[in-house]
Every structure is written in structure tokens, then in C-alpha cells.
Amino acid sequence: MNPDTEDKPFVDVRNLRVTFTGGKKPVEAVNGVDLQVKRGEVVALIGESGSGKSVTLRSLLRLHPPGRSRIEGAMRVGDQDVLALGTQALADYRGKVASMIFQEPLLALDPVYSVGAQITEAIRRHENVSA
């Protein structure tokens, strides 16, 4: 391992603020989260329902609707500034650098398609493989 990157966090979130702006009044869902995770380290986010755990992690993948949410602060994963990623770089980042296992599996899988088709789609989206 490179000694220059050994102590550097792989995930580095500083002063993360997430505001949802789609309703009548803006909702500040996350206010000032700092999070650092080193390579190989396991971290658990624990808190009450509605405390911002999922909002924080969905922000790392930029999964919030751009026209109805505002993400502020700094988020780096590896050597990438997550907030600066363009469309193609964001698509490459998701699944290869960062991914998420959603806590509600019934909402993560679409019952209209087979589980195999959905898994195959995810692999084909992120890897250079044929059907």
C-alpha cells in the first residue's frame, strides 16, 4: 500500500447539507455531516428513523432528484469529487467505485422483471460484457 494514501480516507464527507426543495417549504434533511472512512474500514451509521442516514448515503451516489434537492459541502470518494462528476463520469462511478444495497429490498427490485434480468442489467451497465 502506498504510504501517502494509507492514512487518507477513501470516503471523505465534509459539512454535508442536503435540502429538499420540491415542496411548499424547503426541508433541510441533513445539516453538517462529516464522515471519513479509510480503505478496509467498516462503519455503521446508526440513528433514529428520519435522522438522515439514507439521505447521507444516497447523496454519496447523487441519487436525489437534481431539480428538487440541493447538496452542499464536500464529498470525495477515492480521488473523485462526487459533486463535480458529469453525467458519464457519474454513471461510471456508480457501481464501480461506489454502490448501495438498499435497506428495503421490496422497493429495490421491480416485480415486473425477473431477479436475474435485473442483476444482469446492473452488471452490463457497469462492466464491458455482452448479454
Question: In the block, which residue shows the cell 415542496?
Answer: 23
Domain membership flag for residue 110: no
- Dihedral of the alpha carbons of 93, 91, 67, 37, in degrees to the nearest 10: -10
What is the rounded CA–CA span in Å between residue 59 and residue 16?
9
pLDDT tens per residue across span 45-84: 899 988 999 999 999 999 998 889 999 999 999 999 999 9
Check: pTM over 0.85? Answer yes or no: no
Domain assignment of residue 54, yes or no: yes
Domain of 68, CATH number, reads 3.40.50.300
Find the Cα–Cα–Cα–Cα dihedral 108, 14, 27, 86, rounded to 10°.
-60
Question: Which is higher by pLDDT, 4 or 90?
Answer: 90
113 within domain boundaries:
no
Mean pLDDT over the full length of the chain = 87
* Domain contains 85: yes
Alpha helix ranges (H) inside 30-101:
53-60, 87-96
Burial 71-107 (b: 16+ CB within 10 A, else e): bebebbbeebebeebeeeeeeebbeebbeeeeeeeee
Distance of CA 119 to the CA centre of its chain: 19
Q: Does some domain include residue 109?
A: no
Share of the chain above pLDDT 90, in %: 50
Q: Is residue 32 part of a domain?
A: yes
End-to-end CA distance of the chain: 36
**Segments forming the whole domain that contains residue 74:** 3-101
If one counts the domains in the chain, the total is 1
